[in-house]
Amino acid sequence: MAKAQSTPKPIIFLVGGGSGGHLVPLLALVPALKSAGWRPIVITGYSALEKQLVAETKVATVSVLAGKWPRYFSWRLPLELAKFGLGLLQAFGLILKYQPRLILTKGGYLALPMAMMTWLFGKPLIAHESDAELGLTNRLIARLARLVLVGYPVSTYPNQWRAKLNFVGQPLRQQPLPQQPSRPVTGSRLPNLMVIGGSQGAVALNSLILEALPKLTEELAVTHLTGQFDYARVQTASEGLSLAPDRYRLLSTLTAEKYYQALTEATIVVSRAGANSLAELASWRKPSLVIPLPTAAQDHQRANARYFWQREAIIYLEQADLQAQPDRLAQEILSLLSKPERRQELSRNIYKLATPKTIDRIVELLQPWQKG
C-alpha cells in the first residue's frame, strides 16, 4: 500500500527587522506557531543584529532589502528609493515562490514592501503594533490589513484606527522562571542594578550611567548592557574609573537565556521605554527607572512610558533633566534602593500591566486563516 503523503503545513511570513524591537517579538511567536501547525518563515534584513537574533531561534529566514525613508530631505533619498524598489521586487518573488497563507508584519520600514505586495496578491495581512503610538509604517499598513494587533488597550489609540485594533499585548521570548537562579550572570551578592542600553539611543543613556557609577558602586553591583555599538567607548571610559570587578560588569549584549537570568537577578532596572523592554519589566515585576528616548519616531517611547507612569508602575525620568543635573540619576537610584516598600509598590503595579497570555491569544486569532 502506498504511503499517504502528509499535508504540507501552511506557511506564515513573519516580517520585521531594522531593530531588535521589530524582530524579537516575531521570533517569540515561532515555537507556538510551529506547535499550532504553521510553517513560519521570518523575513528580515541583513544587519549583524538581525543575524545574531535569528541565530538564537531555529527558524527558516530570508533577508531582504528595504529603503529607510528619511523623515526630511536627504542626499540618501535616491538610494533609499532604489532599495525600496528592490524590496518590492523581492517581496513579489517571495510571495510567488512560497505562496504564504498569511503575512504578519511588525512595523518598521522593512514591513512596507511586503505589505504592499501582500495586498497586490490578495493575501491576508495582519500587523502588530507594540507601542502606545502607531508607527508611521503601521499607519500605512493599517489601511491594507485585515486586523491590527496592538500592545496596549485599544482605548490608548486614536478613534480612526480602533475598528481594526485588537489588544493582545507584547509577545516575549520567555516568561519568568519559577525559581530565581543563584546569580550566574552578575556573580555578586550585593543588590544589583541592571542597565539596559538598548539598540537605539544607547550612547546618551550609557553616558548618564558612566557619570553615576562612582556613587552607584558604593552600594550596588551594576550589570551594564551597553548595546553593540557603544561598548568600546564605555569600556574605555569605565576603565578610567578603577571600579572593583564585583561592583561593575560591562557587557555589550547577552543571549536571551543570559539576559533573562540577569533580569531575574536585578533589584532595580534602568531602561529606555521600548515596548519590548517595558513588557519584560512588567512580566518580571521589576522596580524600574525609565528614561524615554527623546528622538524616537512619533515620540512613541514617551507615549509608552507615560502609560506606565500614569498607572504608578515606573519612575519616569526625562533625559534632558538628567543631563542638566549630573547627580540626579544616582540620587534617584539610591533613593529607590533605600525604600523597599516603594520598590514593592512599583513591582505590584507594573505586574498588573503584564500580558502573559499574549502568544496564546495571537495564535488563536491567526487560526481562522490556517485552513485557507
- If you write DSSP's letter for every residue of 35-100 in order, what string do you get? HTT-EEEEEE---HHHHHHHHTS--EEEE-------SS--TTHHHHHHHHHHHHHHHHHHHHHH--
Residue 372 pLDDT class (50, 70, 90 cuts):
low
199 is in an annotated binding site: yes
Q: Which residue has the higher pLDDT, 165 or 184?
A: 165
Q: Which residues pair with 271 in a beta bridge?
A: 196, 290
Mean pLDDT of all residues in 283-288: 98
301 is in an annotated binding site: yes
N-terminal to C-terminal alpha carbon distance within the chain:
30
> Beta-carbon neighbour count of residue 101 at 10 Å?
19
Q: Which residues pair with 11 in a beta bridge?
A: 39
Grid cell 498607572 in the structure block, residue: 311
CATH numbers and ranges of domains, the chain: 11-172+356-369 (3.40.50.2000), 192-351 (3.40.50.2000)
Predicted TM-score (pTM) of the model is 0.91
76 is in an annotated binding site: no
> Beta-carbon neighbour count of residue 49 at 10 Å?
19
Which of 78-87, 167-176, 303-312 is predicted with the least confidence, judged by mean pLDDT?
A: 78-87
SS3 for 371?
A: coil
20 is in an annotated binding site: yes
Residue 150, pLDDT > 90, answer: yes
Asked if residue 292 lies in contact with residue 302, where contact means CB atoms within 8 angstroms, the answer is yes
Mean pLDDT of all residues in 125-150: 95
pLDDT digits (tens, 9 = 90+) for 156-183: 999 988 999 999 999 998 877 655 555 5
19 is in an annotated binding site: yes
The pLDDT of residue 1: 47
* Mean pLDDT across the chain: 91
Residue 300, pLDDT > 60, answer: yes
Residue 6, pLDDT > 60, answer: yes
Q: For residue 45, what are the contacts with CB-CB under 8 A and spacing of at least 6?
A: 17, 18, 63, 64, 65, 66, 110
